Structure 1
Amino acid sequence: MSEKTSTGIEENVAGLLCYLLGWISGLIFLLIEKENETVRFHAMQSIVTFGGLNVIYILLMISVIGIPLMPLVGLVGLIAWIMLMIKAFQGEKFKFPISGDLAEKWVKDVKI
């Protein structure tokens, strides 16, 4: 059985929920989870990964050259979303390339 969090939700379920609505649910869990470092990591990774993908998507949208790349960014986002939710639910602290390292570093610095 998974460890409980300060929210009363099991750690693996809270980790999955951090990714459910992309960076929005990540932000919510970063604000409400005060103790569990694993859930805070998943929350920060969700913010960095999906916030970054949203920024890239917006930049491509305003660029005529980038418009053909938008479906590719959407597909990468979908695959990342599914994979990160599965890994979190399995209790694995999977670090996504680049954003996982940033999340691990930044989650220690952010105390809300």
Structure 2
Amino acid sequence: MSDLPTPVPASSGLSDSAAGALAYVTIIPAIIFLVMEPYNRNPFIKFHAWQNIFLCLFMFVLGVIGIIPILGQLVFLLGFLVAFVFWLIAIIKASQGGKYYIPVIGNLAEKQANS
């Protein structure tokens, strides 16, 4: 009898909930999940990837608005705080296997994921 552990079969990749949560880390994993097989065929993962891409675009627009003195900076700070809270909620829901629809962005992501 050998003391070596029995070999574990290779897994088929990330679970849906792990991939959905990882899609929110930066825009890079979101794009990778939209391109790589088998993730690009899974509507759950595609939803979270698209939602993160749209959230990143929203934050980019906030950054541009933040260039404007005083009022733009105020809008940037408030918008960033709101976006950060939505981002945290989306990551938590995705890791639990659920979906959180960020207002406006969630509907756009759902349309893209199902197209």
**TM-score normalised according to structure 2 size:** 0.77
Q: Which residue of 1 aligns with 2:99?
A: 93
Give the number of the structure whose alpha-carbon radius of gyration is greater: 2
Q: Which residue of 1 aligns with 2:35?
A: 31
Residue ranges of structure 1 left out of the alignment (5+ in a row)? 1-6
Q: Which residue of 1 aligns with 2:9?
A: none
Q: Deviation of residue 88 (structure 1)?
A: 0.2
Residue ranges of structure 2 left out of the alignment (5+ in a row)? 1-11
Structure 1 stretches of 4+ with a deviation exceeding 4 A read: none
| Contact 1:57/1:73, CA 8 A, preserved across alignment | no
SS in 1 for 2:99: coil
Equivalent AA in structure 2 for residue 24 of structure 1: I
Are residues 1:8 and 2:13 paired?
yes
- Structure that is richer in helix per residue: 1
Count residues with an aligned counterpart: 101
Q: Which residue of 2 aligns with 1:73?
A: 79
Equivalent AA in structure 2 for residue 26 of structure 1: A
Whole-angstrom CA distance in 1 between matches of 2:79 and 2:102:
15
Whole-angstrom CA distance in 2 between matches of 1:94 and 1:77:
13
Q: Which residue of 2 aligns with 1:4?
A: none
Whole-angstrom CA distance in 1 between matches of 2:20 and 2:113:
14
**TM-score normalised according to structure 1 size:** 0.79
CA RMSD of aligned residues (A): 1.6
Paired-residue identity, %? 34
